[in-house]
Structure formats: structure tokens, C-alpha cells
């Protein structure tokens, strides 16, 4: 099984791997080229649609400003994510231990999730200091996927293993720590991966809402501000930075998930054919 | 009777089931008037069709759930005063039932950890249990890296690591291929003879039950109760010669006939 000679088809697999990187890169290059051509041929002014070169130039020239704003937004995102992780897992454990608490609170967790955060943000800005409100928005959207996934994980434990723990007289806390939480880990990490992106969205939405109230220095606020000033190249630059940050968060959480599960969970295993 | 034979009927009972009935919440009557005495050191098989309540009986003995009627009494119960619920059993499920996130060693150590056994002692006992089932080289492997038969060996090592008085096995080899099953049958008999614990083995295979057991209890379909008892007096150690002998075939025929009439009686 572990032959050292390359298996037949290895070259083919390598080609596929290579294509997975090359094809999206080619698509991107073509898209940028088309964008540039349209701007040049139609002679579109930069305050309507800046050429990609100008966006890149703006990204470089405004780097300090944009980077500082990005850091502000990312700090909020990670704070929101950390709180969502603690709150989501904590509440899921509470739900798992007590049906009474679950039935009392779960509907409100759902309501928190289905109410659009854009609509909640202005209200939160009235009652909370601005930074608190932004953080609360990031938390609200990130919290539910972690709660829902962890709850599912805690309830998906192998029944026979539960019986085994009972046979050996394991206490509730031991069943939780030694059986339920490890079994729920893949689900939690799945929830975390969704929550990472959502937390960023929550922070951005709240910053934009707060920005319209005239304060803030996050990246989303920069986008709103640039919009008012018709500084469209900077809007694009900030937007690119923002989506880069989203991609980086997703990749980082995927790597984390892979590292934690690679020894034992099906999702992290390479399939051999 | 040869000296190597099954323990005589006079051997002390380990556990006795008196008129057990078990009705589930959905109304299913799994067991009714189920009487059984398990004697010290015997290898007892519960043989019956699927859904005859044999697994239910095994789970009740393990303390998983309470009988609706009747009582289970342990003689010299809890001799080592170890188990909080008063039981001293090892349980092997039909599936290996291993924790996928833990290595073989950690899986086998679980019962000792849950009982709060000193970790130095536990490590030694785990090493011994793994040695017994021939898995020492795989102690740091994860369950997914093992074959079905090896996973089942881990499960058996885990059940034996506490050195239980009574080993309960719920169709443990039903999902394995025949070659692996024969091998594990032989290894299980060797372990049983070396350790001398009492075994209750649930199966729906006539051939497996005759090969392994000193006594077979044939059960009726739902609700399950004892239909017939069959002593298999063939001497241990049993091996491939026994599996191909006329004596074995004769016992299989008797057990098979008992099973057929148990099912006919019910319908």
C-alpha cells in the first residue's frame, strides 16, 4: 500500500492539482484585463470606474491608512468570534445538560439569528457605545452557527459509547469532557469556519451603520467615507483588502480545523483511490 | 466427562435472572418470564433469531436499563467492591465502539481512567491487555488505521483491561468476514481459558455458538424466553479439528433443530 514508486496516475493527479491553481488565476487575469480594456476603450472617468492599475496604485499610496483601518476591523472581528465561540459552546453545553434551558432559550437564539443584523445595528448604536455596538453585531451573527453546530455535535455521540461510559459509572462531567466534547469537535470547527466569515460581515455592517452616524475608523467606515467623497479608487482598494481579509480568515480556520482533525476524522483525510 | 470440560452444573452462580420481563416505551415486549443462571467460569451463548431480546437481556445484565418485571441477583456480587453500580462486567458491542479521536492505547485505558485507577498501574494493565490480543505494535495507531478485526481486538482488550468477573459480548463478530471471525473465535477461546472469566456471548450463528460455548441457551422469538438449554460437552481446547469433526456437526444439528422448533413454537 505504501509503495515508494509513484502510483500510476500520479502525474495525472499533479496535473489536476496544478489546474486548480492555474485556472482561477487565469480567470482573474482575464477579468482584470477585460476591466482595464473597458475602462480604456470607453474612456470611463475614475470617479465612475477606476482602472485596475489605479486601484493598485491607490492601495499602495493609501496603505498606511487602509492597513490601520483593517487592523481595527480585524480586532473587532476576532473579538466577536472569540465571544461567539465562548457563548456558542457554553450555551450548547448548557442546552445539552438541561432540556428545560434548551426549550426556554433556543427559540430566542433563532430569533437573534434570523433578524437581519443590518436592521439591528442602528438600534444597538443607540444603546451601546460605538465599539460595543460593533462588537455586539459581530457576535450576534457569528454566535448562531457555533451554537447550532455544537448542539448537533453534542447530540451526535455514538450511543454505544454513551452506554460504555455508563457501564463504567462515568459521571456527567466525565461524559461531557471525555466523550461529548471530543465527539462534537468536528462540528464545532465546522461552525467556527462559517462564523469566521460571518463575524467579519457583522463587524462591517455595524461599522457602516456607525459610520453613517459620523464616527469610526474601521475599513468598512473607510469604504463609506470614500463613497461620500467620490474617492472610488480607494473604495475599490478597501473592498479588495476586505475580501482578502475574509479569505485569510477562512483559510486560517480551515488549516486550524485540518490540524486538529487530521489524525482521526474522515473530513480531514485524503482519499486514496 | 473430561477434566478440561465445561464447569459442572454445581459451579457457583455468578448472576441469576428471575422472571425478567422488559417492555419498551413503544410497547414492544422484548423479554418475558426470562429465567437464567450464569455459572462461574462457563462460556454461555444466547442463541436466537434477530430481535428475540437476547441483546436486551445482555444489556440488563450490564446494568443498562431496568427490567420491567423480575430481578437480577449477583451472588458474591461485586467481590472486589470496584464498580460504583455494583457490577463487575466488561462489554463488547457488535461494533468496535472505539473513540476515533483516541489512540488504541487511550481507548483501552478508558475504563481504568473512568474508575480512577492510578496511571502507572493503568499503563501496565493496558500494555498487558494489548499483549493478550496481539496488538502491542499498534498501540499508538488510531482506530481508522486498523482493520475491522483489529478494531474488535481493541474492543476486547478494553473489556478485559479491568479484569472483569463477567464478559458480555453482543454479537461481536457478526460484522466480520468468516476468516477473521474464525481467527477471533480461536483467540477468544484461548483468552477465556487463560483468564478463566465467565462469558455470555450473544449470537445468531448456530456454528459459532457450538464452537465456542460450554452451554447454549436457545431463545424464542419476541418476547424472548428460554426455549432450550444445550450443554456442549466437547473438551477444550477446541481447534480446527473440532470444527471439522462429526461431533461438532452433531451438536450443530441439535442446536439448529432446537432453534427451528423455538421459532415454530412462537408462530
Query: Nearest Cβ partner of B100 from A164, A174, A265?
Result: A265
Q: Are strands B215-219 and B43-47 parallel, antiparallel or unpaired?
A: parallel
> Are residue B217 and residue B258 in the same domain, yes or no?
yes
Mutate to test the interface with A, among B84, B101, B167 (most CBs of A within 10 A): B101
Residue at B181 is within a domain: no
A160–B95: do the CB atoms touch at under 8 Å?
A: yes
CB-CB: which of B101, B114, B142 is closest to A168? B114
Q: Is residue B219 part of a domain?
A: yes
The CA distance from B225 to the nearest CA of chain A, in Å, is 24
In-domain check, residue B105: yes
Number of Cβ pairs closer than 8 Å across A and B? 58
Q: Please tell me whether residues B170 and B250 are part of one structural domain.
A: yes
Residue B183 belongs to a domain: no
**Looking at beta carbons, which pairs linking B123-127 to residues 24 or more positions away fall under 8 Å?**
B125/B161, B125/B163, B126/B157, B126/B161
Q: Which residue of B has its CA nearest to A179?
A: B99
Q: In whole angstroms, what is the distance from residue A238 CA to residue A36 CA?
A: 19
Torsion of CA B231, B232, B237, B240, to 10 degrees: -160
Number of domains in chain B: 2
Cross-strand partners of B89: B166
Q: Which of B93, B106, B163, B166 to mutate to test the interface with A (most CBs of A within 10 A)?
A: B93
Element (H, E) at A234: helix A232-261
Q: Determine, for residues B142 and A264 on separate chains, whether the beta-carbon distance falls below 8 Å.
A: yes
Is A168 in CB contact (< 8 Å) with chain B?
yes
Q: Average pLDDT of B17-27?
A: 89
Q: Residue B165 has what pLDDT?
A: 86
| Residues B139 and B19 both lie in one domain | no
Is residue B236 included in any domain, yes or no? Answer: yes
Q: What do you get for the CA distance between the two ends of chain B, in Å?
A: 37
- Burial class, A124, CB count within 10 angstroms (exposed 0-12 / middle 13-18 / buried 19+): buried
| Residues B49/B50/B54/B55 CA torsion (nearest 10 deg) | 160
Q: Each residue of B47-64: pLDDT tens digit? A: 988 877 889 999 999 988
Domain residue ranges in chain A:
7-42, 59-268
How far, in Å, CA of A206 to CA of A118, rounded?
A: 7
Residue B37 cell numbers, joined = 443462571
Is B141's Cβ below 8 Å from some Cβ in A? Answer: no
Q: What is the mean pLDDT of residues B3-11?
A: 50
Cβ neighbours of B91 in A, within 8 Å:
163-164, 167
One domain, residues B225 and B159: no
A163·B110 Cβ contact <8 A: no
pLDDT for res B5: 46
Phi/psi for B244 (5° steps) reads -110, 10
Cell (9 digits) for B137: 505494535
Which residues face B219 on adjacent strands?
Answer: B226
Of B63, B113, B142, which has the smallest distance from its Cβ to A167's Cβ?
B63
Taking an 8 Å cut-off on Cβ atoms, the answer to whether B64 and A166 are in contact is: yes
Bridge partners (DSSP) of residue B71 are B18
Residues B170 and B263 in one domain: yes
Whether B214 is covered by a domain: the verdict is yes
Give a yes or no: residue B182 inside a domain: no
Question: How far is A72 from A218, CA to CA, in rounded Å?
Answer: 5
Touching A: B residues 82-121, CB under 8 Å: 83-85, 87, 89, 91, 93, 95, 97, 99-102, 110-111, 113-115
Architecture of domain A59-268: Orthogonal Bundle (1.10)
State the pLDDT at residue B104: 96
Residues B73 and B200 in one domain: yes
pLDDT per position as a tens digit, B209-252: 999 999 999 998 888 889 999 999 888 888 888 989 999 999 99
CA distances from B33 to B15, B60, B222, B224 (A): 16, 14, 12, 8
Q: Would you call B187 exposed, middle or buried from its count of C-beta atoms within 10 A (0-12, 13-18, 19+)? A: middle
Residue bearing cell 476524522? A265
What's the confidence (pLDDT) of residue A216? 57
Print the SS3 string covering chain B. CCCCCCCCCCCCEEEEEEEEEEECCCCCEEEEEEEEEEECCCEEEEECCCCCCHHHHHHHHCCCCCCCEEEEEECCCCCCCCCCCCCCEEEECCCCCCCCCCCHHHHHHHHHHHCCCCHHHHHHHHHHHHHHCCCHHHCCCCHHHCCHHHHHHHHHHHHHCCCCCEEEEECCCCCCCHHHHHHHHHHHHHHHHHHCCEEEEEECCHHHHHHHCCEEEEECCCCECEEEEEECCCCCCCCHHHHCCHHHHHHHHHHHHHHHHHHHHHC
pLDDT of residue B73: 84
Residues B208 and B83 in one domain: yes
Average the pLDDT over B158-167 and give the result: 91
pLDDT at B85 over 60: no
Q: Is ipTM over 0.85?
A: yes
Chain A nearest-CA distance from B238, in A, is: 31
Task: Enumerate the β-bridge partners of residue B38.
Answer: B15
Same-domain check for residues B67 and B116: no
What CATH number corresponds to the domain at position B76? 3.40.50.300
Q: Looking at chain A, which residue has its C-alpha nearest residue B90?
A: A167
Q: Which residues pair with B29 in a beta bridge?
A: B23
* Burial (CB count <10 Å: 0-12, 13-18, 19+), residue B228: middle
Domain enclosing residue B110, as ranges: 93-163
Over its length of 273 residues, how does chain A's per-residue pLDDT go in tens digits? 444 445 556 777 778 888 888 999 999 999 999 999 999 999 999 888 999 999 999 999 999 999 999 999 999 999 999 999 999 999 999 999 999 999 999 899 889 888 888 888 889 989 998 889 989 999 999 999 999 999 999 999 999 999 999 998 888 999 999 999 999 999 999 999 999 999 999 999 888 888 754 455 889 888 988 988 899 999 999 999 999 999 999 999 999 999 999 888 877 766 555
In a domain, B125, yes or no: yes
Residues B23 and B114 in one domain: no
pLDDT above 90 for B159? yes
Amino acid at each position: 500500500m505504501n509503495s515508494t514508486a509513484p502510483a500510476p496516475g500520479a502525474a495525472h493527479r499533479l496535473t489536476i492539482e496544478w489546474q486548480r491553481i492555474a485556472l482561477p488565476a487565469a480567470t482573474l487575469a482575464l477579468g482584470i484585463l477585460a476591466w482595464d480594456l473597458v475602462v480604456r476603450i470607453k474612456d470611463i472617468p475614475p470617479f465612475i470606474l477606476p482602472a485596475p492599475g489605479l486601484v493598485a496604485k491607490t492601495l499602495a499610496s493609501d496603505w498606511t491608512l487602509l492597513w490601520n483601518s483593517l487592523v481595527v476591523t480585524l480586532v473587532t472581528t476576532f473579538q466577536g468570534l472569540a465571544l461567539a465561540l465562548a457563548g456558542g459552546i457554553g450555551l450548547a453545553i448548557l442546552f445539552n445538560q438541561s432540556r428545560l434551558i434548551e426549550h426556554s432559550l433556543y427559540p430566542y437564539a433563532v430569533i437573534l439569528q434570523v433578524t437581519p443584523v443590518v436592521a439591528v445595528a442602528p438600534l444597538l448604536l443607540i444603546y451601546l457605545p460605538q465599539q460595543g455596538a460593533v462588537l455586539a453585531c459581530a457576535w450576534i451573527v457569528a454566535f448562531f452557527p457555533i451554537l447550532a453546530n455544537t448542539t448537533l455535535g453534542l447530540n451526535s455521540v455514538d450511543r454505544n459509547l454513551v452506554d460504555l461510559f455508563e457501564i463504567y459509572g462515568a459521571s456527567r462531567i466525565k461524559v461531557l469532557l471525555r466523550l461529548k466534547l471530543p465527539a462534537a469537535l468536528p462540528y464545532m470547527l465546522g461552525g467556527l469556519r462559517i462564523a469566521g466569515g460571518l463575524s467579519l460581515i457583522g463587524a462591517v455592517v455595524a461599522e457602516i451603520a456607525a459610520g453613517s452616524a459620523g464616527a469610526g475608523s474601521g475599513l468598512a467606515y473607510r469604504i463609506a467615507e470614500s463613497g461620500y467623497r467620490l474617492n472610488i479608487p480607494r473604495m475599490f482598494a478597501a473592498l479588495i483588502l476586505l475580501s482578502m481579509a475574509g479569505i485569510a480568515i477562512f483559510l486560517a480556520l480551515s488549516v486550524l480545523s485540518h490540524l486538529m482533525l487530521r489524525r482521526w476524522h474522515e473530513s480531514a483525510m485524503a482519499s486514496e483511490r | 466427562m473430561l477434566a478440561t470440560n465445561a464447569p459442572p452444573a454445581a459451579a457457583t452462580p455468578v448472576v441469576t435472572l428471575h422472571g425478567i420481563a422488559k417492555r419498551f416505551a413503544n410497547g414492544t415486549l422484548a423479554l418475558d418470564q426470562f429465567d437464567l443462571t450464569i455459572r462461574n467460569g462457563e462460556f454461555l451463548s444466547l442463541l436466537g433469531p434477530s430481535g428475540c431480546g437476547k441483546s436486551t437481556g445482555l444489556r440488563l445484565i450490564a446494568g443498562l436499563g431496568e427490567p420491567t418485571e423480575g430481578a437480577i441477583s449477583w451472588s458474591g456480587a461485586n467481590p472486589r467492591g470496584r464498580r460504583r453500580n455494583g457490577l463487575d462486567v466488561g462489554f463488547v458491542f457488535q461494533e468496535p465502539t472505539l473513540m476515533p479521536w483516541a489512540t488504541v492505547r487511550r481507548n483501552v485505558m478508558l475504563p481504568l481512567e473512568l474508575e480512577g485507577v492510578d496511571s502507572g498501574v493503568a499503563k501496565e494493565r493496558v500494555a498487558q491487555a494489548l499483549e493478550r490480543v496481539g496488538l502491542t505494535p499498534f498501540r499508538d495507531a488510531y482506530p481508522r488505521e486498523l482493520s475491522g478485526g483489529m478494531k474488535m481486538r481493541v474492543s476486547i482488550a478494553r473489556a478485559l483491561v479491568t479484569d472483569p468477573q463477567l464478559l458480555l459480548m453482543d454479537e461481536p463478530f457478526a460484522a466480520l468476514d468468516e476468516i477473521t471471525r474464525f481467527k477471533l473465535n480461536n483467540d477468544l477461546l484461548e483468552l477465556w481459558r487463560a483468564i478463566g472469566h465467565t462469558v455470555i456471548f450473544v449470537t445468531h450463528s448456530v456454528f459459532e455458538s457450538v464452537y465456542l460455548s460450554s452451554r447454549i441457551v436457545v431463545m424464542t422469538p419476541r418476547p424472548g424466553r428460554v426455549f432450550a438449554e444445550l450443554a456442549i460437552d466437547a473438551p477444550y481446547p477446541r481447534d480446527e479439528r473440532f470444527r471439522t469433526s462429526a461431533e461438532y456437526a452433531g451438536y450443530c444439528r441439535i442446536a439448529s433443530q432446537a432453534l427451528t422448533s423455538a421459532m415454530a413454537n412462537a408462530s
